[in-house]
Amino acid sequence: MAGLPEGHIVANSGVKTIAGIRLGTAAAAIKRAGRDDVLLIEMAEGSSCAAVFTQNAFCAAPVTVSREHLPQAPRWLLINSGNANAGTGARGLADAHSSCEAVVALAGGRAEQVMPFSTGVIGEYLPLEKIRTALPKAFEALSEDGWDAAALAIMTTDTRPKTASRTVEIGGHPVTVTGIAKGAGMIHPNMATLLAFIGTDACVDAGTLQDILQRAADRSFNCITVDGDTSTNDSCVLMASQRSQAPRIEPGSHHAEAFQAAVDAVLEELAEAIVRDGEGATKFIRILVEEAASDEEAKQVGKTIAHSPLVKTAFFASDPNWGRILAAVGRAGCAGLDISRVAIWLDEVRIVSGGERDRDYTEERGAAAMQRPEITVRVSLGRGTSSARVLTCDFSFDYVRINAEYRT
């Protein structure tokens, strides 16, 4: 990093460790034997922590407990895959609290300093004894080199682990941001994504960290959708160990801008990885909405297109059925939309202008664009200067199969 300009961001190949953050995994056989499914993350004393959670009213017990514990200077995160501990009532809350107590029985501290997270099947009670039995091994395995193993341990229907790292120069010193995420289905984040855990060695207080995380989530995880379903367990945590020699990140400073850009880059890479790994996905689709009346309107149009099962199945079939995209734009709720000013493209092929099929469009050109594994849908509304980007994927036969067989 020496000699790099202030704010320069390096995309690291592989995962970079974070001083002051250790991770350990263990196998509890929660859903199936033979793989790690419990993750323990330890933050050094004095670390700060921020988090955003699902807006689903039926939020899981661990989400409720983690929200309560976030202001208590958390030191540990406990994550399990294979069981969501959602829809489990009073017993689910008691089990989540008991899992926190199991951590501090090994590590010391207070139960309120543990934030629990779960992902997996909804409506089944947490196998607490299995987790208690596995915890000592996870505790013994704690290491700053544990990021890759952690990414594997939190997977459910994911086909591959999701990791990202960036290093940014701040005040002549490197600051590193590293993250892991899981998610492939039930993805329509109303805050972040299914589960994501990001660590940094930056020196930043919890309030500033919370603002940075919320902005980053809004620009990344809140702009992706696989199937339009908001999970009961969505959680994203940003931990800062305070171990970097870089200056403290103060709100509104140029250091804060540089750090925000690095966090944004990590979350954007993780968000894109989730969409690329969408259950049964064969196409990666970027939806760009331009010349909207507001940022919110642009995002709403993008999400309406992305959520449409008719649009998504057309992409799977490589069928340039542009009427489905046009219909989605029309029902997105743009008050007073002048369709004569709307234009739509599939990559470089303009399919709609003036509210109807473009005069130069041919089915052959549209079909050629739809055959590509990555496609950009660009929509110009012709009514303002705002824009948004939404990432999604297609619906395939395998999406139905995966979700039909999820509990078998």
pLDDT digits (tens, 9 = 90+) for 136-175: 999 999 999 999 999 999 998 788 899 999 999 999 999 9
Tens digits of residue pLDDT in 82-101: 999 999 999 999 999 999 99
Examine domains 9-274 and 284-404 and report if their fold is the same.
no
Decide: 118 and 84 in contact? Cβ < 8 Å: yes
Sketch the domain layout of the chain as residue ranges: 9-274, 284-404
Distance separating alpha carbons of residues 52 and 211, to the nearest angstrom: 10
Mean pLDDT (the chain, rounded): 91
193 is catalytic: yes
Q: What percentage of residues in the chain have a pLDDT greater than 70?
A: 94
Rg (CA), the chain: 22
Fold adopted by 9-274: L-amino peptidase D-ALA esterase/amidase (3.60.70)
At residue 343 the predicted structure's pLDDT band, cuts being 50, 70 and 90, is very high
Distance separating alpha carbons of residues 324 and 94, to the nearest angstrom: 47
The confidence score (pLDDT) of residue 219 equals: 86
Instruction: Determine how β-strand 235-240 pairs with β-strand 195-200.
Output: parallel
> Which residues, other chains included, contact 50 with Cβ-Cβ below 8 Å and sequence gap of 6+?
70, 206, 209, 210, 212, 213, 237, 238
Distance separating alpha carbons of residues 49 and 195, to the nearest angstrom: 15
Mean pLDDT throughout 62-89? 96
Out of 193, 200, 225, 304, pick the active-site residue. 193
Distance separating alpha carbons of residues 364 and 125, to the nearest angstrom: 54
* 38 beta partners: 26, 80
Tens digits of residue pLDDT in 103-130: 999 999 999 999 999 998 889 999 999 9
The confidence score (pLDDT) of residue 184 equals: 62
The confidence score (pLDDT) of residue 121 equals: 85
351 or 8, which is more confident? 351
The answer, yes or no, to whether residue 38 has pLDDT greater than 70, is yes
Tens digits of residue pLDDT in 309-322: 899 999 999 999 89
At residue 191 the predicted structure's pLDDT band, cuts being 50, 70 and 90, is very low
Task: Tell me the CATH class for 284-404.
Answer: alpha beta
The confidence score (pLDDT) of residue 43 equals: 98
The confidence score (pLDDT) of residue 229 equals: 53
At residue 193 the predicted structure's pLDDT band, cuts being 50, 70 and 90, is very low
The answer, yes or no, to whether residue 192 has pLDDT greater than 70, is no
The answer, yes or no, to whether residue 408 has pLDDT greater than 70, is no
Mean pLDDT throughout 188-204? 76
At residue 403 the predicted structure's pLDDT band, cuts being 50, 70 and 90, is low
The answer, yes or no, to whether residue 331 has pLDDT greater than 90, is yes
Decide: 296 and 385 in contact? Cβ < 8 Å: no
